[in-house]
Structure 1
Amino acid sequence: MKRREFVTLIGVAAAWPIAARAQQSRAKRRIVVIGALAPGDVETVARSAAFEQALAALGWTKGDTIAIDYRWIGVSPALAEKTAVEVVALAPDVILASSNVVIASLSKATGTIPIVMVQVIDPVGSGYVESMARPGGNITGFTQFEYSLAGKWLDLLMEIAPRTSRVAVLREPTHGPGIGQFAVIQAMAPARGVEPIPINPSDVADMERRITAFASVPNGGMIATVGGGIATHRATVIATANTNHLPATYPYRYYAADGGLVSYGPDTVDQYRRAASYIDRILKGEKPANLPVQGPTKYELTINVKTAKKLGLTVPQSIFVRADEVIE
């Protein structure tokens, strides 16, 4: 073997461990996803798929260039705190987290690991970021909506069920966003000629009892506000409202898809899709402090005509022309 060929061979051999280490290092980029719904929820599956597809389009393939660890914790604040501590101990490159409950727990657990939030309400007022334009810390991401959207739910309810004079507001009373959403509805109610009545359930059985009791008095309607517990147990919420012929509005499309009368709110799956872009930028070296918090870009109005017929309601043409989706 010639000396030049021998030197070249040695150089290539020496480069192998370096290349292997570089590939391993890249493959070890780790993302932990903490969600507020149950693992088998159809919405959970849709969000995960959208997130992974968007990451792949940016060059981050699960099992190849990144590892993704999912933690779907349901609605327990205690479990959220426990999970936050466990995840921080893993020292991932970045955390994608959903809901105010989860973000509140993570903000206590770490001030250094980058966090991209989705499905969060009022991050400035909640103290997660300094401002929408410049978050200033280790947290950035995407908000669900402003509290003012709750007023649109009230108007939508009055539009589809104009005889409504009493409005049950299903909320989670210890959940900051639940308080804020009710405040908006309460402020608007007098001008709409309706009485808002908060429903603050302690558990699923209590929620069913309270909705049923409210529906026993005529001319009632219901607004289901945003909350992890309400979303997780939406099948019970929807079934109870429909069984008692109670017109109700819901905050997301998947409620209407599951049999709810009508929903209006941001595209939740799209938020996970958009979150991939911030994950990509952070993995490439950008700081959450410099990435502005963004609001929703897509809102969906979905009407379930089948449910409307069961409730004896005629859907106004004004709703049909605005609807993004009509479920027959």
Structure 2
Amino acid sequence: MSNKKTFFILTIFLIVLAAVIFLVINQNNGNKQSKVFHVGLLQMASTVNANIDGFKAGMAELGYQEGKNIVYDYKNAEGNIDLINEYAKSFVVQRVDLIFSDTSPATQAAKEATTNSTIPVVFSMVADPLRAGFIASIQSSGNNLTGTSCAYIDIAPKRLEFLKEAFPGIKKVLVFYRPGDKSGEPAYEEIKKAGQKLGVQIIAKPVSKSEEIKEILKNLKPFEVDALMDPADSMVTANVDSLVEASLRLKIPLMMLSDLEAERGATITYGVDYLDLGKQSAALADKILRGTKPAEIPIEMPRTFRIVLNLKVANQIGLTIPENLITRVRAAGVSGGRIIPL
């Protein structure tokens, strides 16, 4: 065979090979672009809606357009533990591509439901995922979970400090918590320790369902306690309206966790920015949907904490927040603090 003929055959072969490679690459890209991801949103209570909103907003910023290349299935248990477990199992039956679990009870339910599944779980609003037993370490979960922590156990003492600073006269603080809850119970223990240092008596009320919270609040008498506080238990948080009602009736301050509760009548809140933490979680979900395993993605802590003072409610219950605290909160700016005016 002549060199010219050999060269011709080799050229044709290379052209055909290049065409085949081009077609395969295009087909793979096309498959990626046409993939519609099915994501289950597992929520314990409406009080953390902003976290779900932040997650979806973050996903949209990363190119996931709802109804085009991503579909969400939203389930809200509204504080019902049995229901959250059912919802988690339904996502496994549907074989969703990913579960976004909001709060510790939702994450517990998602973890248990996916025990024999490879469905990845991205959690958020979990106070301490390591202590809760959701992960092996902060660097690697060792399983199908990853996510963002709200660090509410760590900041529990600071929340009581802010409550005491805002209302120096308080001596007795009522704290509801659910025994066994991965967030509320350990946060309550930290609040109790902080109370001993601050000279504040922490009156514990263990509860197992919302009806018990409502009953206890209804029977509270004036001067029985000086303040109410949610330790960071999602079932307690779900009863924000009942807590606010008791706060106004008894004319005592209520410490909760976020802007949303402050807008609904809590006197003071300190916690994470739910919206921002949701967006932070979306970045982790994006990595997973692109092929990274959850165990390869370290757990992330909040980027910021935020205090809100509700001067309007403080005035309604006949209390005045010290001016120096108001000044500091104003100086913290939008990301670190907020004042709800008279």
Given the two structures, how large is their TM-score scaled by the length of structure 1?
0.87
Task: Say if 1:26 and 1:66, in contact at 8 Å, map to a contact too.
Answer: no
Aligned partners of 2:208 and 2:300: how far apart in 1?
33
Map of 2:183 onto structure 1: 177
State the Cα deviation string for residues 237-296 of structure 1 (Å, max 9, x = none). Answer: 111112111122112221111111010000111111111111111111111101010111
1:116 aligns with 122
Corresponding position of 1:99 = 103
Evaluate the alpha carbon distance shift between residue 123 and residue 64 of structure 1 in structure 2; reply closer, same or farther with a 3 A threshold: same
The runs of 5 or more residues in structure 2 that have no matched partner are 1-18, 330-336
Structure 1 residue 245 corresponds to structure 2 residue 251: yes
Aligned to 2:81: 77
Determine the C-alpha separation between the residues in 2 that align with 1:114 and 1:20.
23
Q: Between the two proteins, what is the percent identity of the paired residues? A: 23
State the Cα distance separating 1:203 from its structure 2 match: 4.3
Q: Which residue of 2 aligns with 1:57?
A: 61
Question: Counterparts of 1:265 and 1:143 in 2: how far apart (Å)?
Answer: 12
Q: Which residue number corresponds to residue 326 of structure 1?
A: 339
Question: In the alignment, what sits opposite 2:165?
Answer: 159
In 2, the alpha carbon distance for the partners of 1:249 and 1:76 equals: 23
TM-score (norm 2): 0.83
Q: Is it true that 1:66 corresponds to 2:82 in the alignment?
A: no
Deviation at 1:314, TM superposition (A): 1.3
- In structure 1, distance between residues paired with 2:112 and 2:209: 26
Separation (CA, whole Å) in 2 of partners of 1:244 and 1:202? 24
1:32 to 40, 54, 57: 40
Contact persistence 1:212–1:244 (CA under 8 A): no
Shift of 1:303: 0.6
Structure 1 gaps of 5+ residues are 1-10
Mark the structure with the bigger radius of gyration: 2
Deviations 1:119-148 (A, max 9, x none): 112111111111011222110000111413
Q: How does 1:172-321 map to 2 (within 5 A)?
A: 172-217=178-223, 220-321=226-327
- What's the offset of the Cα at 1:199? 2.0
Maintained 8 Å contact 2:53/2:278: no
The letter for the 2-side match of 1:192 is L
> What is the aligned partner in structure 2 of residue 7 from structure 1?
none
Separation in 2, partners of 1:202, 1:90: 30
SS of the aligned residue for 1:92 comes to coil
- State the secondary structure of the residue aligned to 1:271: helix
Q: Once the two structures are superposed, what CA deviation does each residue of 1:144-173 show, in whole Å capped at 9, x if it has no partner? A: 114131111211121122111111112223
Question: Does the 8 Å CA contact 1:142/1:275 hold for their aligned counterparts?
Answer: yes
Aligned equivalents of 1:139, 1:215: Cα separation in 2: 45
**Matched residues in 2 for 1:219 and 1:108: separation?**
39
Q: Is the 8 A contact 1:34 1:70 kept in 2?
A: yes
| SS of match in other structure, 1:176 | coil
* Aligned ranges 1:122-133 → 2 under 5 Å: 122-133=128-139
Q: Retained in 2: the 8 A contact 1:153–1:223?
A: no
Distance 1:275 1:297 in 2: 11
The alpha carbon displacement at 1:25 in A equals 7.3
SS of residue paired to 2:57: helix
What is the distance in 2 between the residues matched to 1:61 and 1:233? 33
> Are the aligned partners of 1:215 and 1:246 in contact in 2 as well (CA < 8 Å)?
no
> What is the rounded CA distance, in whole Å, between the counterparts of 1:139 and 1:218 in structure 2?
43
Cα distance, 1:21 vs structure 2: 11
CA contact (8 A) 1:52 1:61 kept: no
Equivalent residues, number: 309
- Aligned-residue Cα RMSD (Å) equals 2.3
Alpha carbons 1:116, 1:278 under 8 Å: kept:
yes
Q: Report the AA paired with residue 79 of structure 2.
A: V
2:121 and 2:146 in contact (8 A); partners too? yes
CA positional deviation for 1:201: 3.8
Tell me the distance in 2 between the aligned counterparts of 1:209 and 1:81.
26
For the structure 1 residues 185 and 90, does the alpha-carbon distance in structure 2 shift closer, same or farther, using more than 3 Å as the test?
same
